[in-house]
């Protein structure tokens, strides 16, 4: 049974595997901007396990408050109230940070929004700092599983602008803003955690 706070079963399933990688990447104290926080389950799980970080949740207006009750209830000293941040809208309410995390956003955003996200992230990170992007991705134009293929069709049926992104396109985009792929961790359920670093 869950209470009335917004809840995602997928977040419950993936949060520990993601954390296992984040603890090897976000090793330095600092502010981590989360883009598209959704229910806030990731924000609470990661900030409680990584007390050297200050976690800054955010989401676009209309969704930014989805995580508020969960964050308040968690009473953690290192998690900040959510910001309204739409990657399209410059200037971002937080423009300098030490790391970025975003889960399951690249296939929901339109491609120009993905580009805006990479631009804003690259502008705010210092040299060598990480951007962790979790979700399903295609490799060499191919899906990694039939279920991802079905999910991609489902997304594209829902809205033309959505769809699973190809790693080659993301690499190309990243190179134009000064980010490069430092690591690619395979995760359960045919997902990946891509670790980009500012050059």
Ligand X SMILES: C[S@@+](CC[C@H](N)C(=O)[O-])C[C@H]1O[C@@H](n2cnc3c(N)ncnc32)[C@H](O)[C@@H]1O
- Least CB distance from residue 113 to ligand X, whole Å? 5
Eight-state DSSP code of residue 66: G
- Least CB distance from residue 127 to ligand X, whole Å? 25
Phi-psi group of 121: left, alpha or beta (phi > 0 → left; psi -120 to 50 → alpha; rest → beta): alpha
- Least CB distance from residue 105 to ligand X, whole Å? 4
**Between 37 and 56, whose beta carbon lies closer to ligand X?**
37
- Least CB distance from residue 198 to ligand X, whole Å? 20
Q: Is the peptide bond before 91 cis (omega within 30 degrees of 0)?
A: yes
**Between 36 and 130, whose beta carbon lies closer to ligand X?**
36
d(CA 195, CA 199): 13
With CB atoms as reference, the residue minimizing the distance to ligand X is 38
**Between 114 and 180, whose beta carbon lies closer to ligand X?**
114
Angle in degrees, CA 116, 181, 21, rounded to 5: 100
- Least CB distance from residue 126 to ligand X, whole Å? 22
Which helix (H) or strand (E) segment holds residue 133: the answer is strand 130-135
Residue found under tokens 């609470």? 44
**Between 35 and 128, whose beta carbon lies closer to ligand X?**
35
Where on the chain is the footprint of ligand X (CB under 6 A)? 8, 11, 35-38, 59-60, 63, 85-88, 103-105, 108-109, 113
**Between 99 and 199, whose beta carbon lies closer to ligand X?**
99
| Burial class of 160 by CB neighbour count within 10 A (0 to 12, 13 to 18, 19+) | exposed
Residues in the chain: 199
């Amino acid at each position: 049974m869950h209470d009335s706070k917004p809840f995602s079963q997928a977040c419950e399933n993936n949060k520990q595997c993601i954390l296992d990688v984040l603890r090897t990447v976000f090793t330095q104290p600092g502010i981590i901007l989360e883009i598209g926080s959704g229910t806030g389950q990731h924000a609470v799980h990661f900030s409680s396990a990584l007390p050297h970080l200050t976690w800054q949740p955010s989401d676009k207006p209309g969704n930014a408050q989805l995580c508020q009750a969960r964050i308040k209830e968690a009473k953690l000293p290192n998690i900040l109230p959510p910001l309204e941040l739409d990657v399209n809208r410059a200037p971002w309410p937080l423009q300098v940070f030490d790391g970025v995390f975003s889960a399951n956003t690249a296939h929901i955003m339109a491609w120009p929004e993905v580009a805006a996200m990479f631009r804003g992230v690259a502008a705010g990170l210092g040299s060598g700092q990480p951007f962790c992007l979790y979700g399903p991705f295609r490799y060499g134009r191919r899906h990694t599983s039939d279920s991802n293929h079905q999910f991609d069709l489902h997304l594209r049926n829902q809205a033309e602008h959505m769809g699973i992104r190809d790693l080659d396109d993301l690499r190309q985009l990243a190179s134009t803003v000064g980010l490069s792929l430092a690591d690619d961790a395979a995760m359960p359920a045919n997902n990946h955690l891509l670790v980009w670093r500012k050059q």
